[in-house]
A and B are shown apart, each in its own frame.
Chain A
Amino acid sequence: MYNFDVETPTSIADAVKALGREEAQPLGGGQTLIPTLKQRLASPSVLVSLTGIAEMKGVCMTDDGQLAIGGATPHAVVAREAARHYPGLADLASHIGDPAVRNRGTIGGSLANNDPSACYPAAALGSGATIITDKREIAADDYFQGMFATALDEGEIVTEVRFPVPEVSHYQKFVQPASRFALVGVFVARFGDGVRVAVTGASNDGVFRWTEAETALSSNFAADAVNGLALSGADMISDLHGSGDYRAHLVGVMTKRAVAAAR
């Protein structure tokens, strides 16, 4: 690892100030960034740790019935504290990586990183969440911009994520056994005005909405409703863990299982 300074602000305002330093980068739980630094794939001169900022931590319901999660909230806390409000989301958080990763890794870090196989992007897109930063609010539909790419500017901090709570939902993850990430993961959420289906792990463009399945499930919320719908394997990730065609097929299977398991 190249060396860097570490700043540990206790407020968003101080974090924003610290991020104004040259080549400064936010540090969430470090569960992605620290391994990246070890490989010298990044060389910030300052890391601004966000996990000591109390106003960026915690889970609560807003007055308009959305679930608000602070950007520096670890996965384990979401798994515990969101369970009553939004069980589909809490269940997703409880299956990210392993217990030690969940005690450190944060929702803001996961959404900022936007790994094409990460779990939270599917929940945010599948719920139509709002990503709140130190500067603005971004709708999930505008936020994800391809593999590891988001609408965030340099040094912009995800301070909070707001989730509309669906009637029923489920995240079905086909685990890539070596990494524990999703080989393919599908988040299905049924709202009063329609169904959203978000797919992670599969596409070369990162997380995406499977709109054909959304239409079919909005008129009939049953696993069989997606029978006959197919995605092309040509745009899918193809690697030693699975071909594009295999992933395209898995999206259908995971969608059906998610619908069948939705609560």
Chain B
Amino acid sequence: MTQVKMTVNGKAASGDVEGRTLLSSFLREQLNLTGTHVGCDTSQCGACVVHVNGEAVKACTMLAAEAQGAEVTTIEAMANADGSLSVIQQAFQDHHGLQCGFCTPGMVMSAAALLKENPKPTEREVRVYLEGNICRCTGYHNIVKAIMAASGQDVSRIAAE
């Protein structure tokens, strides 16, 4: 066991971990931040996306020990300070960007990373950016629409409702 210390959602967090402890396991099982989902064993679904030092990473494909000293942001920190939904989250609700919601934490974290890098993406850029986020329910159109809406763009001409 080694001790890891990091900043999670702006607060100091620490715990004893094994070498093999994944960042996703540390967040979910030791910090009880279960908003970060784990949907696969193959690093392909993106349900576990969090931000490490401001960059989107798959928390299931990084060891907790590698996050020593890092700033980690999870879906739990995405709402506004007063508890209301952030612009991206509200857009997912308004445009029906989720059904079962399993993929949604990763979708929102990826969307936030995209809009930070590219505040007004085209529809194609949104679709390409989400290549590593799989959704079994929605068929993606409304997720894309929500992200376009969150970026302040007109979404009336985007496919499917």
Nearest chain B CB to A56 CB, angstrom units:
15
Task: Decide if B49 is an interface residue (CB 8 Å cutoff).
Answer: yes
A-B interface contact total, Cβ < 8 Å = 78
Among the listed B18, B20, B55, B65, which residue makes an inter-chain contact with A37, where contact means beta carbons less than 8 Å apart? B20
Nearest chain A CB to B94 CB, angstrom units:
25
Interface residues of B in 86-135 (CB under 8 A from A): 110, 113-114, 129, 131-133
Q: Do the beta carbons of A30 and B46 come within 8 Å of each other?
A: no
Q: Do the beta carbons of A104 and B62 come within 8 Å of each other?
A: yes
Contact string against B for A residues 1-34, beta-carbon threshold 8 Å, 1 for contact and 0 otherwise: 1111110100000000000000000010011001
Nearest chain A CB to B127 CB, angstrom units:
12
Task: Decide if B82 is an interface residue (CB 8 Å cutoff).
Answer: no
Q: Do the beta carbons of B18 and A3 come within 8 Å of each other?
A: yes
Interface residues of B in 1-57 (CB under 8 A from A): 2, 18-20, 22, 41-44, 46, 49, 55-57
Q: Do the beta carbons of B46 and A51 come within 8 Å of each other?
A: no
Q: Do the beta carbons of B19 and A30 come within 8 Å of each other?
A: no
Q: Do the beta carbons of B65 and A8 come within 8 Å of each other?
A: yes
B63: A residues at CB distance < 8 A: 6, 27, 30, 34, 47, 49
Task: Decide if A97 is an interface residue (CB 8 Å cutoff).
Answer: yes
Interface size band for A: 20 to 34
Among the listed A27, A49, A103, which residue makes an inter-chain contact with B57, where contact means beta carbons less than 8 Å apart? A103
B138: A residues at CB distance < 8 A: none
Task: Decide if A98 is an interface residue (CB 8 Å cutoff).
Answer: yes
Q: Do the beta carbons of A49 and B66 come within 8 Å of each other?
A: yes
Using A3-B18, A8-B66, A30-B61 as known contacts, say yes or no to A98 and B42 having CB atoms under 8 A apart.
no
A34: B residues at CB distance < 8 A: 22, 43, 60-63
Q: Do the beta carbons of B132 and A100 come within 8 Å of each other?
A: yes
Task: Decide if A65 is an interface residue (CB 8 Å cutoff).
Answer: no
A99: B residues at CB distance < 8 A: 56, 110, 113-114, 129, 131-132
Task: Report the separation of the CA atoms of residues A4 and B20 in the bound assembly, to the nearest whole angstrom.
Answer: 6
Task: Decide if B68 is an interface residue (CB 8 Å cutoff).
Answer: yes
Task: Decide if A241 is an interface residue (CB 8 Å cutoff).
Answer: no
A6: B residues at CB distance < 8 A: 2, 19, 63, 65-66
Q: Do the beta carbons of A4 and B49 come within 8 Å of each other?
A: no
Task: Decide if B58 is an interface residue (CB 8 Å cutoff).
Answer: yes
Task: Report the separation of the CA atoms of residues A37 and B21 in the bound assembly, to the nearest whole angstrom.
Answer: 12
- A94 to chain B: closest residue by CB: B128
Using a CB–CB cutoff of 8 Å, the interface residues on chain A facing chain B are 1-6, 8, 27, 30-31, 34-35, 37-39, 47, 49, 51, 76, 97-101, 103-104, 179-180
